[in-house]
Every structure is written in C-alpha cells, then in structure tokens.
Amino acid sequence: MYPTELLRETFNNREISTIFWIFFLLFWSLRNRDVRSSLMSLLGAFFKIKIIASILAMLLYVAITIHFLRNINFWNVLMFKDTVWWFFGAGFVMLLDTARKKSNKALFKTLLLDGIKLVIVLEFIVNLYAFSFIVELIFVPVVAFLAMTMAYAQTKKEHEAAAKMLESVLSLIGVGLNYIR
C-alpha cells in the first residue's frame, strides 16, 4: 500500500488539511530567526520537571482510562486516532487550564464547560462531514481563525459582544455541517 493510500484510509480530508496547515505554519514560522529563538525558549520551558510530570500523569490517566474502557468493551483500537486528537487538543488545553486556574473555586465547572467547548471543536475536526480536499484547505483556516478570534475575545471583557457573535457563527457552521451530514 502506498503512503498516500494509507493516509487517505486513516484520515479524512479535514484531518489531512489540518495536518497540512499545522506543518505549513510551523515551517513558515521557523524561517524567521526570532520565531526560532522563541521556539527554543518555549521548548526549554516545556522540559521543566513540573511540566513533564504533569504530562506523564495525564498520559498515565489516559492509559488507565483506555485500559478500563477496553475491558468493558467501550473502547477499541479504531478509536486511537480520536484519542490522540483529544489528547493533543482538548485534553492538553484542559491540563494547561488547571495550572492557570488552580485558585478558582469553581474550577471543576469551568474546566467542564471549557472541555465541552473544546470537544465540540474537536468533533468538528474529527467526525463531521468532510468536503473535498481543496474546500477543506480553505475551510479549515477560516474556522480556525474564527475560533482563535473568539478565544481571544473571550479573554477581554470589552470584547464580550464579539465573542458571543463569533460563538454564534461557529455554532451555525457546526449546525450547518451536521445538517449536511
């Protein structure tokens, strides 16, 4: 089997487009010396013992959860790709949020609501109807831009109206995609 056939069997057009844009942006940004320097600083900060311990604890949690779910026939190897998407998407962001919001008394509720929002975005990436590769190459960065703009707007009180509008637009896109499916 050729690598392109394996790629098409494993990933849909949306996932391939997402992977393409991630690598494109990574390579494009690495052309800039300042970005490379910042990336090295980020990697240095990433390899601190507390961060590595947190990630290893999360990996252990996911492995135990998979083992438990597999034993009750609720998880199988076909779900591995979705599990990896969750780990590097919603799971990793929630891990970072726990460190940032450790003083918040309503931590569980906040993490749960944020997690649900992230899972909705992840479901868009992973499971909803995928268009042709060319359409996905345009669609993925547009939706990513809207989602990032919404995330930024949610951090500032003065941008609350924009955040709500963007959330509505993204919800309409999700409903529209679900209707197409």
Q: What is the pLDDT of residues 25-40, one digit of tens each?
A: 999 988 988 988 888 8
| Residue ranges covered by each domain of the chain | 48-127
Quote the CA–CA distance of 180 and 95 in Å, as a whole number.
33
Average of per-residue pLDDT across 142-150: 90
Quote the CA–CA distance of 126 and 16 in Å, as a whole number.
10
Lowest mean pLDDT among 18-22, 102-106, 141-145, 157-161: 102-106
pLDDT tens digit sequence for 94-137: 777 666 665 555 655 665 666 666 556 656 555 667 788 999 99
Quote the CA–CA distance of 128 and 16 in Å, as a whole number.
14
What the block records as the tokens of 24 is: 């494109």
**To which residue do tokens 């997690």 refer?**
115
Instruction: Identify whether the C-beta of residue 12 lies closer than 8 Å to the C-beta of residue 130.
Output: yes
Model's pTM, two decimal places?
Answer: 0.68
Instruction: Please give the pLDDT value at position 71.
Output: 95
